[in-house]
Amino acid sequence: KAGVTQTPRYLIKTRGQQVTLSCSPISGHRSVSWYQQTPGQGLQFLFEYFSETQRNKGNFPGRFSGRQFSNSRSEMNVSTLELGDSALYLCASFKGGPTDTQYFGPGTRLTVL
C-alpha cells in the first residue's frame, strides 16, 4: 500500500513570501499531523487535523496554518516567511484512533533566503 506522500520535496523561498505544502495520507487514514524539524529545536508538533477539523494545536505563531480536505489530504501554509522557518516539514497520518500507528512522509525541505 502507498505510503504518506509530501509535495514538493524541496522548496526555496525568500523572506516575506508565503508557502503551501501538501500531504497525502495513506488511504483510509483520517488524521494528519504536521511537524517541523530543525537542528536547534528538534521535531516539534505544529497541528493535527482529523476529519477536516483541527483537533490539536502546537505552540506556533498564527503565520502557520493548515487545513484538511474531504479526501483527508492536508495542506499547511506559512505566511510572511522568516529565515527561522527554514526546516524539514514532516506530516504523519494514522487512522485516527488512540493507539493507531502513525506513519510519516519523507518531508518537505524548506529553505528561506
Q: For binding to other proteins (CB under 8 A), which residues are involved?
A: 4, 31, 33, 35, 42-45, 48, 50, 55-56, 58, 90, 92, 94, 97-107
Q: Quick one: 62 or 97, whose CB is closer to other proteins?
A: 97
Mapping DSSP onto H, E and C, the string for 80-112 reads CCCHHHCEEEEEEEECCCCCCCCEECCCEEEEE
Which residues make Cβ contacts (< 8 Å) with residue 20, sequence separation at least 6? 75, 76, 77
Q: Quick one: 59 or 70, whose CB is closer to other proteins?
A: 59
* Residue type (1 letter), 8: P
| Closest approach of other proteins to the CB of residue 67, in Å | 15
| Closest approach of other proteins to the CB of residue 110, in Å | 14
